[in-house]
Chains A and B, each alone.
Chain A
Amino acid sequence: MGWNMPRGVLFTCIVVLVALALIPMADSRYLIDISTEIMVYALFALSLNVIIGYSGNVSFGHAAYFAIGGYTNAILLTTYELPLIVAFPAAVLASGLAAAFVAYFCTRLTDIYFAMLTLAFAMLVWAIAFKWRSVTGGDDGFVGVTVPEFIDGRVPFFYFTLITVTLSTAVLWMICHSAFGQTLVAVRENITRAGFIGVNTRLMRGAAFAVAGAFAGIAGAIFAMYNRGVYTESAFWPESAQVLIMTLLGGMYSFFGPAIGAAALYLLERFANEYTEYWPTVLGVILLVIVLVLPEGLVGLFKRVKARMVGGR
């Protein structure tokens, strides 16, 4: 095989998975809902990190592919009454293809120009969702999504999400640690040199973008069923900003960092909203802290603390 995950990471993954699998036993709707949503956001953030952490580009429009996955799944399930086994893969394919199309244009550019173009395309997706009322429901949203019977219910849906997100994360981990993933890191590290070892860097960045789009589509497709609806806000830029912050908060130089960032930001927002109405202010402070103190996110902080403890002995 040749895939080797560091033991500590593997152990942590297993512990987290077991803990998640036991959550329904607590019989708390609140806990199940929070966990389901966190898993979706975690996958969403992990997918974005293929672009940011691995290929070294910043996307300001990642919500577009989350939304395309959500709308496609919702429309195929509800309007066309297709079974999940058709609708779900089609949704993933749609997001992946849309991302590949956008990547064709964006990868001509780098840095801020790349980021701005991803934002522009995301706004187009948002505008289409907003205006194409007959198909998407426009600003009322696409409501009343048909959820297949076998996952219709809080607990079955939780397990469906757990399994889908776990499998997706495993595949994403493999891609990021494959020959492709390793070369992608080389492209991030030194795009000129990568060209001079014979790598078509534009195609690599494009492939990364498409992969990221497809996995964002998975997250979006799950979320559409969870909410029994898809809304234009899911493609809007604050959604792209939020997943970007999750990724940076967790740490872009670590595979699992963005998932940790997603959980942390989600929980912070929940708690902050219970005690104050100033969540945007709190968010601003979090952003400042990331930029000034934690450029490598929570995972970077953890590594530094660990290094200091080992070094201090």
Chain B
Amino acid sequence: MAVLEIKDLTKDFGGFVAINDVTFSLEKGEKHAIIGPNGAGKTTFFNLITGHLEPSRGSVDFEGKPITGMPPHKIVRLGLARSFQRINIFPRMTVYENIQTSLIARDHKHFSMFSPGAAQNREETRELLDLVGLDTEALEIAGELSYGKQKQLELAISLAENPSVLLLDEPTAGMSPQETNEAIALVDEIAKSRGLTLLFTEHDMSVVFGIADRISVLHHGELIASGLPEEMRNNPEVRRVYLGEGDDAAA
């Protein structure tokens, strides 16, 4: 069953077509990687799905419901959460509060003016801190964490929403090889234990081929191929534009 059904999705930035007629579906439970050179439109694609940008044309259905043009907060409520390529946390709050606030929002308690914020979802906050390995940093100011840890925190903020589908935009960008391995093992484990459907962009091919069940390739805003990892590895067009045999090959 497809949890995400995208038809003819197009984003035209005043003449520059960042996403061109993309038709795509995400199957329940799969780990699907979107790859493509820098500027291929991966982040724009995510922004269109999650309501951060409004498409010029086309439609996005999530679990059978049209979500095209919905604001982000409504889409998140349906169970489609995301993380960001650039760190996107609440920098002056503590690590603990970052996660706790996400849980408050998930439980629709963000308009309760007379229940103490600090007392909400304490146990679950602790569990999530443990899960992403930030338990010892709980009371640190989030913006002062190391880069890799901020990425972990972002993941925890997204997980707090209890999504059924998680979109990860370059979850290992800027990480050292060791941090990358740890982060990926963690994502993989969480996806398994929570039955998450994952859609992620990634530039590290070992990560992509290591965990993806399916891979789609974006090039100049168009979806040029989609299939199993082996198929992608052997697809001549993919090899040409991306996997090291073209002019604009990425790392």
List A residues at the B interface (Cβ < 8 Å).
1-4, 174-175, 177-183, 185-186, 189-190, 192-201, 203-204, 207, 211, 253
User: Could you say which residues of chain A place their CB within 8 Å of the CB of B104?
Assistant: 179, 182-183
User: Could you say which residues of chain B place their CB within 8 Å of the CB of A195?
Assistant: 71-73, 76
Segment at the A interface, from B24-32, B60-68, B108-116, B227-235: B108-116
Partner of B90, one of A2, A189, A203, A211: A189
Question: Residue of B at shortest CB range from A202?
Answer: B71
Partner of B112, one of A180, A189, A192: A180
Q: Is B197 an interface residue (CB 8 A)?
A: no
Q: Is B203 an interface residue (CB 8 A)?
A: no
Asked if A207 and B111 sit within 8 Å, CB to CB, the answer is yes
For the A-B complex with A179-B115, A193-B88, A200-B71 known, give 18 more contacts whose Cβ atoms are closer than 8 Å. Answer: A178-B112, A178-B114, A179-B112, A180-B112, A180-B117, A181-B117, A182-B97, A182-B100, A182-B104, A185-B93, A186-B105, A193-B90, A193-B157, A195-B73, A198-B73, A198-B76, A198-B105, A204-B111
Asked if A180 and B118 sit within 8 Å, CB to CB, the answer is no
- What are 29 A-B contacts with C-beta separation under 8 Å? A2-B118, A175-B114, A179-B111, A179-B120, A180-B111, A180-B112, A180-B113, A182-B97, A182-B101, A182-B104, A183-B110, A185-B90, A185-B92, A185-B93, A185-B97, A186-B98, A186-B101, A193-B84, A194-B105, A196-B72, A197-B73, A197-B101, A197-B102, A197-B106, A197-B161, A199-B73, A199-B105, A199-B110, A253-B92
Asked if A186 and B112 sit within 8 Å, CB to CB, the answer is no
CB proximity of A21 to chain B, nearest CB, Å: 27
Q: Within the assembled complex, what's the spacing in Å between the Cα atoms of A138 and B64?
A: 60
A189 touching B117 in the complex, CB below 8 Å, given contacts A183-B101, A197-B160? no
Q: Is B91 an interface residue (CB 8 A)?
A: yes
CB proximity of A52 to chain B, nearest CB, Å: 14
CB proximity of A187 to chain B, nearest CB, Å: 9
Asked if B89 and A190 sit within 8 Å, CB to CB, the answer is yes
User: Could you say which residues of chain A place their CB within 8 Å of the CB of B101?
Assistant: 182-183, 185-186, 197
Q: Is B50 an interface residue (CB 8 A)?
A: yes
Q: Within the assembled complex, what's the spacing in Å between the Cα atoms of A200 and B73?
A: 6
A190 touching B90 in the complex, CB below 8 Å, given contacts A179-B112, A196-B50? yes
Interface size on B, residues (CB 8 A): 40
Q: Within the assembled complex, what's the spacing in Å between the Cα atoms of A73 and B23?
A: 62
A197 touching B105 in the complex, CB below 8 Å, given contacts A189-B90, A190-B91? yes
Q: Is B77 an interface residue (CB 8 A)?
A: yes
A178 touching B116 in the complex, CB below 8 Å, given contacts A185-B93, A189-B90, A197-B106? yes
Q: Within the assembled complex, what's the spacing in Å between the Cα atoms of A18 and B178?
A: 58
A183 touching B157 in the complex, CB below 8 Å, given contacts A2-B118, A2-B119, A178-B115? no
User: Could you say which residues of chain B place their CB within 8 Å of the CB of A179?
Assistant: 104, 109-113, 115-117, 120
User: Could you say which residues of chain A place their CB within 8 Å of the CB of B100?
Assistant: 182
User: Could you say which residues of chain A place their CB within 8 Å of the CB of B118?
Assistant: 2, 4, 177, 182
Q: Is B199 an interface residue (CB 8 A)?
A: no
Asked if A182 and B113 sit within 8 Å, CB to CB, the answer is no
Asked if B113 and A181 sit within 8 Å, CB to CB, the answer is yes
User: Could you say which residues of chain A place their CB within 8 Å of the CB of B89?
Assistant: 190, 193
Asked if B90 and A198 sit within 8 Å, CB to CB, the answer is no
Question: Residue of A at shortest CB range from B82?
Answer: A196
Q: Within the assembled complex, what's the spacing in Å between the Cα atoms of A308 and B91?
A: 23
Q: Is B81 an interface residue (CB 8 A)?
A: yes
> What per-residue 1/0 map shows which CB atoms of B132-160 lie under 8 Å from chain A?
00000000000000000000000001101
Q: Within the assembled complex, what's the spacing in Å between the Cα atoms of A178 and B113?
A: 5
Q: Within the assembled complex, what's the spacing in Å between the Cα atoms of A199 and B117?
A: 15
Asked if A177 and B116 sit within 8 Å, CB to CB, the answer is yes
Question: Residue of B at shortest CB range from A211?
Answer: B113
User: Could you say which residues of chain B place their CB within 8 Å of the CB of A207?
Assistant: 111
Name, among A198, A200, A211, the residue most crowded by chain B CB atoms within 10 Å (CB to CB): A198
